[in-house]
Amino acid sequence: MSEFTLPRFHPRLLDHLRGYSRAMFQADLLAGLTVAIVALPLAMAFAIASGVPPQAGLFTAVIAGLLISMLGGTRHCIGGPTGAYIVILHGIVLQYGVANLAVATVMAGCMLILMGLFRLGRIIKFFPMPIITGFTNGIAVLILLTQLKDFFGLPLASMPGNFFALVQALRHSLGQAHLPTVLLSTGALLLILCWPKRLNRLLPAPFMALLASTGIALLFHLPVATIGSRFGGIPQGLPAFTPLSFDWQHFSYLLSPAFKIALLGAIESLLCAVVADKASGDHHDSDQELLAQGIANIAAPLFGGIAATGAIARTATNIQNGAQTPVAGMVHALAVLLVLLLAAPLAAYVPLSALAAILVSVAIKMGDWDIRKAWHYPGRDTLVLSLTFALTVLFDLTIAIEIGLLLAAVFFIYRIADQTQLNRLTPEQAHLFERHAIVGKTIPPHTLVYRLEGALFFGAADKLDALVEAASDGMLVVILQLHRVTLIDTSGLLALRELHDKLAQQQTALILCSTQAGNLRLLEEAELPQLLGADNIQPDLGTALLRAAAIEAQRG
């Protein structure tokens, strides 16, 4: 077994600073400024939807965005608050309060660092796409539902965290929608959805919707809720250090929320890195990315921020606008900081309905709503996707992922077990095995020869029972060829021991042959050569047949 070593801490920024040119900086500057324009309304909207003041989202875009670009393992990924976190963070705020949200986020940051240190950067490979699509669509639906209060101007103090209570509250209050708010939010949503793509590169649709809605609300003196009326505006200046208010009584309760933040952060950041690689032809360092995400999630709450991860839409914008290095992500963070320092008071006039419209558009674009795909994929994958989606919406993201993974694992085990085949080899079947060692061989009269193909593991170990029944009719030897066995686990080794014991009761010898080197070592470690006898472990079928003939001669 190879010795465990910690991953090398090597941010991708260091690689790109060598030979960094003025032309590259100009490209990064333009891309970073464009991403900042996109990030400004999103950061405020994500924060408000998460149950915290809008400046928390901006602080996160600055601090986490800067650290993730400086220390991360990707070239183009943009870090910051994301829509995927809204449901989790809002639930934590409702149940434990804002102070404990900060504690849970720092705990999640520590977990992400541990994931990076233990080289779990490939964690995304353990999540089948139906599960990722299922919970992403579920989160999108929940985001949409939670924004209906501000989208319609409903007279609700807050939105319940439970789905059923949420639907009940909406059902009783939808008749009290505020017409000016509805008109303003609908217009903002239509502007975002219909904004020409050719203009979106330099004038992002969310930013234009924010400007237009704010301008219309001011021009016509619309009586709509704004950031100023609900939060008193956004403080102007640098994010201030905010020490954690740690409560040991809640520590054990915060482990589960912290794990949710860390798990979703890992999945989203690594998925974002994969998307960026496909779009740019780059190759990311997943462990380094997790380390950077962890550091960012420890730092952001200490300065009034919230949880952060890789933002796929902003990363795509970054690549489309010609970003060359992680400097573009740093420019984006510094540009948001500049807005905080110079123009924060103007945010007081931003209508909350405009931010709600932006989040509704995020929810619409976030999900994969093409149900026609279900007809082209296996039914089991559609079932996993549907169940994960339903559990995410109705209950909890963690439950959805756990049950989705369990169901996907059961289906996977079933498929692998189904591919494990036990085939009898006879000279009469020689035409089926033109290149097989059975061709031209003579099988002793009281010997059975079988070939096992596939994985001999807990899901397929019972298939060896067929050999006991086959040998019950006076057979003296069973030869089992193992060269096509791809994997043997503990259950498989125990099944071989049990097979030997049952055959021995029938006075039948078991010979194993043609075992791959790795599997042969496993047999030796399990002491099967001592149990079967060293002569009953043969290197190939020819020697196994000679051994079978010798056994029959001894007993004849």
Q: In this predicted structure, which of 140-154, 217-231, 435-449 has the lowest mean pLDDT?
A: 435-449
Residue 329 tokens, joined: 């992500």
Per-residue pLDDT, 370: 83
Query: Is the same domain home to 230 and 303?
Result: yes
Q: Is 512 helix (H, G, I), strand (E, B) or coil?
A: strand
Q: What integer is the mean pLDDT of 202-221?
A: 94
Q: What integer is the mean pLDDT of 116-128?
A: 86
Q: Choose the final residue of a domain: 324, 348, 365.
A: 365
Q: Which pLDDT band, with edges at 50, 70 and 90, does 203 fall under?
A: confident
Query: Is the same domain home to 450 and 342?
Result: no
CA quadruple 371, 376, 381, 383: dihedral, nearest 10: 50
What is the DSSP track for 273-335? Answer: HHHHHHHH-----HHHHHHHHHHHHHHGGGGT----EE-HHHHHHHHHTT--STHHHHHHHHH
The radius of gyration computed from the CA coordinates of the chain, to the nearest angstrom, equals 31
pLDDT tens-digit map of 36-58: 999 999 999 999 999 999 999 99
Query: Is the same domain home to 273 and 349?
Result: yes
Q: What is the CATH number of the domain that holds 502?
A: 3.30.750.24
**Cα distances (Å, whole numbers) of residue 437 to 420, 429, 535, 538:** 20, 12, 20, 14
525 and 509 Cβ atoms separated by less than 8 Å = no
Q: Which pLDDT band, with edges at 50, 70 and 90, does 252 fall under?
A: confident
Query: Is the same domain home to 28 and 148?
Result: yes
Residue 200 tokens, joined: 């979106």
276 and 269 Cβ atoms separated by less than 8 Å = no
Distance CA 346, CA 351 (A): 11
39 and 314 Cβ atoms separated by less than 8 Å = yes
Q: Which pLDDT band, with edges at 50, 70 and 90, does 441 fall under?
A: confident
Query: Is the same domain home to 188 and 108?
Result: yes
**Confidence check: pLDDT of 539 > 60:** yes
**Confidence check: pLDDT of 486 > 70:** yes
Query: Is the same domain home to 65 and 195?
Result: yes
Q: Choose the final residue of a domain: 300, 333, 365.
A: 365
**Cα distances (Å, whole numbers) of residue 84 to 66, 167, 219, 291, 313:** 20, 20, 34, 20, 12
User: Left if phi > 0, otherwise alpha if psi is -120 to 50, otherwise beta: which for 512?
Assistant: beta
Query: Is the same domain home to 325 and 440?
Result: no
Q: Which domain holds residue 212?
A: 24-152+174-365
Q: What integer is the mean pLDDT of 261-273?
A: 94
Which neighbouring-strand residues pair with 308? none
Q: Is 246 helix (H, G, I), strand (E, B) or coil?
A: coil
Q: Is 1 a member of any domain?
A: no
Q: Is 51 helix (H, G, I), strand (E, B) or coil?
A: coil
445 and 552 Cβ atoms separated by less than 8 Å = yes
Phi, psi of 356 (to 5 degrees): -65, -40
**Confidence check: pLDDT of 277 > 70:** yes
**Confidence check: pLDDT of 430 > 60:** no
Query: Is the same domain home to 426 and 360?
Result: no
What domain count does the chain have? 2
**Confidence check: pLDDT of 433 > 70:** no
Q: Is 248 a member of any domain?
A: yes
Q: Is 397 a member of any domain?
A: no
User: Left if phi > 0, otherwise alpha if psi is -120 to 50, otherwise beta: which for 153?
Assistant: left
Q: What integer is the mean pLDDT of 447-453?
A: 95
Per-residue pLDDT, 1: 41
Q: Which pLDDT band, with edges at 50, 70 and 90, does 429 fall under?
A: low
* Closest to 555 measured CA to CA, from 474, 472, 498, 479: 474
Q: Is 357 helix (H, G, I), strand (E, B) or coil?
A: helix
Distance CA 189, CA 14 (A): 41
Per-residue pLDDT, 431: 53
49 and 345 Cβ atoms separated by less than 8 Å = no
Q: What integer is the mean pLDDT of 205-213?
A: 95
Provide the mean pLDDT of the chain.
92
Q: What integer is the mean pLDDT of 472-501?
A: 95
Query: Is the same domain home to 242 and 141?
Result: yes
Distance CA 159, CA 170 (A): 9
Q: Which pLDDT band, with edges at 50, 70 and 90, does 377 fall under?
A: confident
Distance CA 463, CA 421 (A): 8
Distance CA 134, CA 152 (A): 27
Q: Which pLDDT band, with edges at 50, 70 and 90, does 195 fall under?
A: very high
Helices 205-219 and 179-194, packing angle to 10 deg: 150
pLDDT tens-digit map of 230-248: 999 999 999 999 899 877 7
Residue 134 tokens, joined: 């299922």
Q: Choose the final residue of a domain: 365, 381, 401.
A: 365
Q: Is 50 a member of any domain?
A: yes
Q: Is 115 a member of any domain?
A: yes
**Confidence check: pLDDT of 432 > 80:** no
Query: Is the same domain home to 232 and 343?
Result: yes
Continuous segment of H or E residues that includes residue 488: strand 477-488
pLDDT tens-digit map of 341-350: 999 999 999 9
Q: Is 412 a member of any domain?
A: no
1 exposure class (CB count in 10 Å sphere: 0-12, 13-18, 19+) = exposed
**Confidence check: pLDDT of 35 > 60:** yes
Q: Is 388 a member of any domain?
A: no
Residue 503 tokens, joined: 């055959």
What is the DSSP track for 537-556? Answer: EESSHHHHHHHHHHHHHHH-
327 and 28 Cβ atoms separated by less than 8 Å = yes
Place of tokens 């921020």: 305
- State percent of the chain over pLDDT 70: 97
**Confidence check: pLDDT of 147 > 70:** yes
Q: What integer is the mean pLDDT of 470-485?
A: 94
Q: Is the dihedral of CA 159, 163, 165, 166 positive or negative?
A: positive
Query: Is the same domain home to 320 and 425?
Result: no
**Confidence check: pLDDT of 378 > 70:** yes
Query: Is the same domain home to 325 and 443?
Result: no
Q: Is 386 a member of any domain?
A: no
